[in-house]
Amino acid sequence: MLAEKNKLPEHADVLRILHLVSSARWSGAADPAVSVACGLKQRGHKVSFACISGRTLIKKAVEYNLEPLDDFSLNRNNPLYIIKDIIRLKRFILDKKPDIIHLHLSHDHWLGVIAAKMAQRAGSKVKVIRTMHRLNRLRTDTLHKYLFRELTDFTIVLSDKARGELISLFGLPEHKIATIYGGVDEERYHPNIDGAGMRAKLGIACDTALIGLVSHLHSDRGHKEAAAAFMQIRRQFPQAKLIFLGETDEEHYQYLKREVENKGLAEDIIFVVDTPFEQWPKQLAMLDIVMYLAAGSEDSARAVLEAMSLAKPVIAADVGAVSEIVKHKQTGLIIADTKPDNIAQALSYMLKDMNCAKRWGLEGRKLVETKFNNRMRTEATEAAYRVCHPELSEGSN
């Protein structure tokens, strides 16, 4: 049914697309890259996908009905492998004749533009597109300005704020860069999912106000600040509990557990870590409030979108695309920074009127249905491809 909804309109051109992701892990850029590639394939395009083999990303790509190529190593540490990848990629372009090479990380960006330029000299009409999943480590030297301005046909970013930054930093023409917001599977993350079973497994009562910080357990994701904020509101809201949901950094995980135990909060601050992928929606569904305090390895605020899709109100720091996704006091609360006082104030505001918070959650779901879903992200990506290849927009295939 999903494929039927997403299929190409009659007489539309079929595009040949290669996605490159020089990663082996299912995180950061990998999730949106696979989602978009899968959506484009469902719409009837000919999609090839390549990543580093051997770990979680390639397994997920197969689960999403992609058929990952084994043509490229995508090894960034060995110069010999890099040269071989460039030669193989050029040969792939000339043999398979992709219309678009869509690049997601810095290493595959350089591989892609070098191979594409070599292939173009041999007659290829391939176009190069880069999605910037995060700007925090962006290099702005002359070489990288040349990479984006001259060697890349089109750039996709995840927020208008990021778009403005890249235009300013690199002098990109406005017609060569577009904002395409993150998307979420609105059927997988649906408000009717019942989280009561998950609560029961954890021994959490149905009437407990359950606050979840959804993030990897790393030192820079706001867990210490969230715990400090929770301590401030604990007496005012004794029925509330805080839960940390996410993958673990073992050292930081053990540190946080010790801190919680030393403060006598072990019964009120709960850890649920390394949840299997298929259980994730039910884990989120058991929450009453979702917090997002730091961007991870990409700026789309995917955890916020998943929460909104489940009709959960959110408290989010103003990072990445948050200010363009969350409507303050309509779908949640945006806080300027993650000082414990600010988090505590936001939690108190929401916990005092949970009926209002539930209405905000429902409004968030409406936004996902109309703006922040996988189908719309896929269609916007396809539209960007056609901007690069205007001759394919007229039904020439």
Cα 194 to chain centroid, rounded: 24
Provide the pLDDT for residue 397.
43
Along the 397 residues of the chain, how does pLDDT read in single tens digits? 334 445 655 546 899 999 999 999 987 899 999 999 999 999 999 999 999 998 899 999 999 999 999 999 999 999 999 999 999 999 999 999 999 999 999 999 999 999 999 999 999 999 999 999 998 878 999 999 999 999 999 999 999 999 999 999 999 999 999 999 999 999 999 999 999 999 999 999 999 999 999 998 888 899 999 999 999 999 999 999 999 998 887 888 899 999 999 989 899 999 998 888 889 999 999 999 999 999 888 899 999 999 999 999 999 999 999 999 999 999 999 999 999 999 999 999 999 999 999 999 999 999 999 999 999 999 999 999 999 888 775 444 4
**In the chain, domain spans:** 2-183+373-394, 196-370
Rounded Cα distance, 264 and 214, in Å: 22
Instruction: State the Cα angle at 69 between 64 and 71, rounded to 5°.
Output: 165
Provide the pLDDT for residue 396.
43
Q: Say how many Å lie between the first and final Cα of the chain, rounded.
A: 27
> Does domain 2-183+373-394 fall into CATH 3.40.50.300?
no
Dig out the tokens for 49 from the structure: 């996908």
Provide the pLDDT for residue 252.
86
| Same fold across 2-183+373-394 and 196-370 | yes
Nearest to 51 by CA among 75, 78, 77: 75
Give the Å distances, CA to CA, from 33 to 24, 27, 246, 344. Answer: 13, 10, 21, 36
> Does domain 196-370 fall into CATH 3.40.50.2000?
yes
String of b and e for 342-376 (b: at least 16 CB within 10 Å)?
bbbbbbeebbeeeeebeebbebbbebbeeebbbbb
Dig out the tokens for 223 from the structure: 């867990």
Dig out the tokens for 318 from the structure: 């103003």
